[in-house]
Structure 1
């Protein structure tokens, strides 16, 4: 039996330090200023790409670093830990890059992966629909053949960063000519394609990366827009969903670390009743508890990444779901404790803590809700009857 190490290599640790140094040159104040001004973080995105971090999980022959999902997850976490959480890190290199690397043709890899790696060809991912929600089996975006082309019709919601992407990897359903049943099929759709439109959704989250409703009205695509086997089914889709959960966990633990670091620093400096507030257990214990929760979530995330990179898809699926759950819970608690540690200052824009409450809360909902993860664990880990 192959032994898989869940601890990180010296090389991975050095990667973390390098990304942290890069991100610290930008920082939380820069990030929130961009967001509140309606501007983008393109400068940081391209800098990450130029240094080779954006496509570190993609094969070297396509401009990547040849690493694994654990490497790109480390990049995602360290960016968030410096106050610059980039949601498109989860989407473009991790989901789209992984699926295309694994299932794309040689031509597709040459066409799309270099741009994903250097940041000039960012790709969004569209699966969620207004009437399907968590139940991806109920998506109604359809793809029908018309000669040598495909025609897409449907609507997607909460699609991240469409305005910053050249293409979107869309999950649609096509009818199987042999069985008459519908099957999931993956298409790369250019964002400037005729019939493809998108509208921004007003959100409370303070982020330069926006969410969109996407409309597809008779969007015509060539045959080579399909990624993978037309009959590949859910296996191809799930190849991107385990990395998505691992990245979401890293996104959450990075935010949690940022919140905790700010809270701990404030608790050391803020003096009331003649001593720093951090000397009081009512402040110290919750922060210590958050540190423990964050480190446990990070360890589970590292385990999930190690299992995925070792090719253990079943083990990685369980660990990735657990990591995402643990990280989101740790992040929500850390943000809440950070706000409380700051007292009244915790709800001012100056200290920037209150915005983390919404940002971390999103981790409990997306990309899969905590309740669906509990369903998964109950059914697959404990062998309990399916409840939905």
Structure 2
């Protein structure tokens, strides 16, 4: 085993960290308050070649994998810039690279790697939740075209996306589950309509309900095959999503802990810094321990995925589980250390509660992770 980072990874981490620091949480919060996308930060990431770090070099990417993308996402979050849409972007390109035709890869990957084009990912439906094969959005062949009908919910970034990778149902298998098929749909296609969802989460990345009213797409927009392909494609994207959400949670935890440690080292009430007292110091030390453990699992999951090794599904889910809990614990301790100041905007803490709490529920809930481990690892009877 080798737990040291390579010189290339250290350089990547330092470079992205510098970009994150140059913008910082004040910039992120300002974009959220103004209801606008983080265009300047997005451009800085992609202009320096970091946004497409997990895409092949032949298409303008960095030639890396999920591990490299996790580093990028963690370092940005560690400076208070948790970009949800970057996680989405980290899913779509690799799916097209793995399952698309040479023509499809040539069509979309260069622009995605350069950041010139943005692609959303649409799988979630109100009636399906975590049960992806139960989705109802359908796609039916009509000659050389496909017609998509249905609706998706909580789709990130439709206001800035040029296209969306849509998961549809194209039939039913022998077990009664949906046969899933993916299509790339331009966001200006007739029949595609978006409605923003008012959210309590303060973030520049907005959420949408997306309606597909007889949306017609040509056959060359289908990614991969039809039968028995969609579910494999989805999890080739969902496992990296869980790893990257874990990386973002670890980064946010680092951000909170950094705030708490600095404050505890400076704030003096009884003649000494409050960090002198074990009642303050011990919870922060525990937060550090939780974050380090979660970080190890996050990078183990990324390592497994990039090498195609069995066990990545569980590792990715466990990483997300552990990191989300660790980030929320770090947030709570940071609030406690700051007292009333945690709720003042100038301290850059309270506005991140919604996004931090969300990671315990999405993209996979704690309960579904526990179900998975109980069934697949412990061998207990299936509960659902």
The correspondence for 2:33, drawn from 22, 31, 36, is 36
The correspondence for 1:183, drawn from 165, 170, 179, is 179
The correspondence for 1:245, drawn from 242, 247, 262, is 242
Residue 375 of structure 1 corresponds to 371
Contact 2:133 2:179 (8 Å CA) reproduced: no
* Closer, same or farther: CA 180–303 of 1 in aligned 2, 3 Å: closer
Residue 88 of structure 1: how far off its partner (Å): 1.1
Structure 2 Cα separation of the partners of residues 6 and 117 of structure 1: 29
Q: Secondary structure at the match of 1:143?
A: strand
Structure 1 Cα separation of the partners of residues 175 and 342 of structure 2: 58
Contact 2:133 2:178 (8 Å CA) reproduced: no
Structure 2 Cα separation of the partners of residues 50 and 13 of structure 1: 19
Residue 233 of structure 1: how far off its partner (Å): 3.4
Residue 293 of structure 1 corresponds to 290
**Unpaired runs of at least 5, structure 2:** none
Question: CA deviation digits over 1:105-153, x for unaligned, max 9?
Answer: 1111111111211111111000000111111121000000111100000
The correspondence for 1:310, drawn from 307, 310, 316, is 307
Residue 10 of structure 1: how far off its partner (Å): 2.2
Contact 2:182 2:230 (8 Å CA) reproduced: no
The correspondence for 1:192, drawn from 175, 184, 188, is 188
Contact 2:297 2:315 (8 Å CA) reproduced: yes
The correspondence for 1:159, drawn from 144, 155, 161, is 155
Structure 1 Cα separation of the partners of residues 138 and 190 of structure 2: 16
TM-score by length of 2: 0.97
Residue 8 of structure 1: how far off its partner (Å): 2.8
The correspondence for 1:88, drawn from 56, 64, 85, is 85
What is the RMSD of the two structures over their aligned residues, measured on CA atoms? 1.5
Question: CA deviation digits over 1:11-70, x for unaligned, max 9?
Answer: 112211110001111000111011101122011101100101000010001110001110
Structure 1 Cα separation of the partners of residues 346 and 182 of structure 2: 44
**Unpaired runs of at least 5, structure 1:** none
The correspondence for 1:339, drawn from 321, 335, 339, is 335
Number of aligned residues: 383
Structure 2 Cα separation of the partners of residues 362 and 349 of structure 1: 20
- Name which of structure 1's ranges 6-15 and 197-206 shifts more when overlaid on structure 2: 6-15
Structure 1 Cα separation of the partners of residues 174 and 383 of structure 2: 32
Contact 1:46 1:118 (8 Å CA) reproduced: no
The correspondence for 2:206, drawn from 200, 210, 229, is 210
Residue 60 of structure 1 corresponds to 57
Structure 2 Cα separation of the partners of residues 257 and 384 of structure 1: 36
**Structure 2 counterparts to residues 106-121 of structure 1, below 5 A:** 106-121=102-117
Correspondence 1:234 to 2:259: no
Contact 1:123 1:165 (8 Å CA) reproduced: yes
Contact 1:259 1:356 (8 Å CA) reproduced: no
Structure 1 Cα separation of the partners of residues 105 and 54 of structure 2: 14
Structure 1 Cα separation of the partners of residues 380 and 302 of structure 2: 26
Contact 2:93 2:109 (8 Å CA) reproduced: yes
Structure 1 Cα separation of the partners of residues 6 and 223 of structure 2: 33
Structure 2 Cα separation of the partners of residues 88 and 358 of structure 1: 16
The correspondence for 1:130, drawn from 126, 133, 139, is 126
TM-score by length of 1: 0.96
* Closer, same or farther: CA 83–180 of 1 in aligned 2, 3 Å: closer
* Closer, same or farther: CA 140–105 of 1 in aligned 2, 3 Å: same
Structure 1 Cα separation of the partners of residues 175 and 92 of structure 2: 29
Contact 2:139 2:146 (8 Å CA) reproduced: yes
Contact 1:5 1:306 (8 Å CA) reproduced: no
